[in-house]
Amino acid sequence: MKKIIIAIDGYSSCGKSTLARSLAQHFNYAFIDSGAMYRACTLYFLEHQVNLQLESDIENALENIHITFNRIDGVNTTFLNGKNVEGEIRGIAVSNKVSEVAAISTVRRSMVKIQRKAGLDKGVVMDGRDIGTVVFPDAELKIFLTANFGERVKRRVLQLQKQGKSISQNEIEQNLKHRDHIDSTRKDSPLKQAHDAVLIDNTNLRENEQLAMAIALIEERIKNIG
């Protein structure tokens, strides 16, 4: 069967990674969580006290950052320079800084280069903020996910509870608002729906309903491109 690129974009905690992961599994595609890449960069910047005002510091840091993904117990896991950082990159310290780091063009150029390489052979589901607009503007299928703010907060609270992290609901609300604002107003690659993306509001959709809708869309696209 012909392989395509599936780009999934949307605001924080609207279920992008959940959908992308399930689609990748269903079609036996690679799954790339581009947000995890910006989170891993941010962790490195924090650990090495990289000065975000100094372009040369940022460039040096980027040269020393190697991000890989591996499956551990069936879970897609992020590695930074060979170390499993999946837990750390989801913590509040990284969450509070990541949008500032992701707004830096030098950082974005470096990440986009890696992301495009991952799509060379197609058969990829990638989720993020600029996948359908910048990384893969020619992706055969683009999905833009939304959900109302309260629902997104609820999902993030549950997700962090499952990971054993105790972060207050208020802190999560502030973090999502802060990131939504920076991500959608930055100059370089702001979060926006691509003109040819399919919009899915999943506020009242179950995971399996959303998955079935996306599978149907993909099957149709694959059929149409023959």
Which residue, among 6, 2, 3, has the nearest Cα to 131 in the 3D structure? 6
Taking CB under 6 A as the rule, does residue 152 contact ligand CDP?
A: no
Footprint (CB under 6 A) of ligand CDP, residues 14-73:
16, 34-35, 38-39
User: Between 98 and 214, whose beta carbon lies closer to ligand CDP?
Assistant: 98
**x-or-dash string of contact with ligand CDP, 178-207, rule CB under 6 A:** -x---x------------------------
E strand segments, the chain: 5-10, 30-33, 67-72, 75-80, 83-84, 124-128, 141-146, 198-201
Give the rounded distance of the alpha carbon of 146 from its chain centre. 14
* Residue 13 binding ligand CDP, by CB under 6 A: yes
Give the number of residues written for the chain: 226
Kindly state whether residue 128 participates in binding ligand CDP, applying the rule CB under 6 A: yes
| CB 79 within 8 Å of CB 20 | no
Minimum distance from residue 13 beta carbon to ligand CDP (Å): 5
Closest Cα to residue 202, out of 156, 161, 148, 160?
A: 148
Q: Which is nearer to ligand CDP, 91 or 222 (CB)?
A: 91
Binding site for ligand CDP (CB under 6 A): 12-13, 16, 34-35, 38-39, 98-99, 102, 128-131, 179, 183
